[in-house]
Amino acid sequence: MRPRLSTLVSSLACLCLLPVVGQSAEPAAPLRQQVEVLQAGQMRVDKVKEGLYVVRGPFVPCTTRGCRPNGPDDGLIHEPGDVAIRATPEGLILIDDKYPENILEVLSQVRSVSSLPIRYLLNTHHHADHVSGNANLRALGIDIIGHRNIRENFLRIKQPGEPNIVFADEGALYLGGVEVRMLHYGNGHTNGDTIVYFPDLKTVHMGDLVIDGMPVIDYSAGGSAIAFVKTIDKLLELDFDTAIPGHGRVMTKAEVQAYRARFQEMNNRMRALAKKRFPREQLLSLDQARIQLKLADLGWENSVSTIAFMNSIGQYYDEMAAAP
Ligand SMILES: [Zn+2]
């Protein structure tokens, strides 16, 4: 794995900012997110830690589902959700499975790291770019585990492949001496966001609670910007050093902390706009949203998820206007 610029920068910052008596030893995180600029390419598998892999890509232009006649083109390369593979002596645990058209390639990437069978599939949430391979895997006899709200969201929008095993807020799976925990800390991106925690590896898969881009709030599925930050706060209480996002490169815990800080800053800005009655309809324009929310400060002026974020900016305004 090549060294990440952000890791080098934070190492340098730690060398420069020695602790001073009476002050925090923690260097202030830079507000701007240094997102990875993706290049077009095939699906690939990367080793995260011993027994844990992430499947990235395919990396394609335009929207997350490729170029469409009427779809917005932000000029960026996109990828469906990050898939994780946890290998145990008794078989594999898969986390998410991308789009249905990706499933054969996902299975091929799985086979490239282990010949053991996939025993369970876990879902981080119900969105199509993460779990549309579910029906194919269920047809192979693989059990799918998800928060009960994930199953309800599948059924509500008539999406095939709903989880057949559910839990309420916290679940755990023990296979081959490996513990995998599933944690729902509240609403955020959706009402079913599940953090998959590998305590022995001090690693989490965060689903779309944290991505290498700006946060997206799915109000149609119980998403909430205010609850989102609180959920990330609870995630940060876990003992981990490595974090797989819903989309993009593997992150450090410091990067997740920085993500939380810039999300709170954006909430503060939106709340201030709503409280001074900045016209809601003007914010529906991407250009105005960029200016008024100062998205460039956050590194989110043209991230892979900025267009998706804009789909709910009116509801975001309404939520912050109603906030105390
Ligand atoms: Zn999502």
pLDDT along the chain (324 residues), means of 10: 40 38 49 91 97 96 65 85 98 97 97 98 97 97 98 98 97 98 98 98 98 98 98 98 98 97 98 98 96 97 94 97 94
Look at residue 62 in the predicted model and tell me its pLDDT. 76
- Residues 6 or more apart whose CB falls under 8 angstroms from that of 189 comprise 125, 207, 208, 209, 215, 216, 217, 218, 223, 228, 246
99 CA to centre of ligand 1 in angstroms: 12
Query: Rounded CA gap, 125 and 236, in Å?
Result: 19
Look up residue 259 and give its amino acid.
Y
Ligand 1 centroid vs 96 CA: distance in angstroms?
11
Ligand 1 centroid from CA 80, angstroms:
10
Looking at residue 11, its pLDDT comes to 39
pLDDT at 66: 63
Centroid of ligand 1 to alpha carbon of 184 (angstroms): 15
Q: How far is the CA of 35 from the centre of ligand 1 (A)?
A: 18
Separation of CA 20 and ligand 1 centre (Å): 41
Between the CA of 215 and the centroid of ligand 1 the distance, in Å, is 9
Distance CA 286, CA 299 (A): 15
CA 203 to chain centre: 14
Q: Say what the pLDDT of residue 30 is.
A: 67
Biggest CA-to-CA distance, the chain: 61
**pLDDT of 8:** 38
Q: For residue 23, how far is its CA from the centre of ligand 1 (angstroms)?
A: 38
CB within 8 Å of 135: residues ≥ 6 apart: 100, 160, 161
Q: What does the pLDDT read at residue 71?
A: 63
* H or E segment to which residue 275 belongs: helix 253-275
Looking at residue 131, its pLDDT comes to: 97
Give the CA dihedral 271, 273, 279, 280, nearest 10 degrees: -30
Q: Return the exposure string of 144-157: e unless at least 16 CB atoms fall within 10 Å of the residue's CB, then b.
A: bbbbebbbbbbeee
272 CA → ligand 1 middle, Å:
27
- Give distance in angstroms: CA of 316 to centre of ligand 1: 16
pLDDT of residue 91: 98
The pLDDT of residue 29 is: 54
The Å distance, Cα 182 to ligand 1 centre, comes to: 17
**How many whole angstroms from 288 Cα to the centroid of ligand 1?**
25
- How far, in Å, from the CA of 124 to the mean position of ligand 1? 9
Residue 34 makes CB contacts below 8 A (sequence gap 6+) with: 5, 6, 9, 299
Distance (angstroms) between ligand 1 centre and the Cα of 81 equals 8
Reduced to 3 states (helix: H, G, I; strand: E, B; else coil), residue 210 is coil
What distance in angstroms lies between residue 125's CA and the mean position of ligand 1's atoms? 7
CA of 89 to the centre of ligand 1 (A): 31
Q: How far is the CA of 52 from the centre of ligand 1 (A)?
A: 22
CATH H-level, domain 34-255: superfamily: Ribonuclease Z/Hydroxyacylglutathione hydrolase-like (3.60.15.10)
Q: What pLDDT is stored for residue 73 in this prediction?
A: 81
User: Is 25 exposed, middle or buried (CB count within 10 Å of its CB: 0-12, 13-18, 19+)?
Assistant: exposed
CA 207 to ligand 1 centroid distance, Å:
7
Q: How far apart are CA 80 and CA 102, in angstroms?
A: 9
C-alpha 308 to ligand 1 mean position (Å): 10
**The token pair that represents 248 in the structure block:** 């993009």
Residue found by looking up tokens 């960026």 in the block: 76
Residue 193 CA to ligand 1 centre (angstroms): 9
Q: How far is the CA of 15 from the centre of ligand 1 (A)?
A: 37
pLDDT at 9: 38
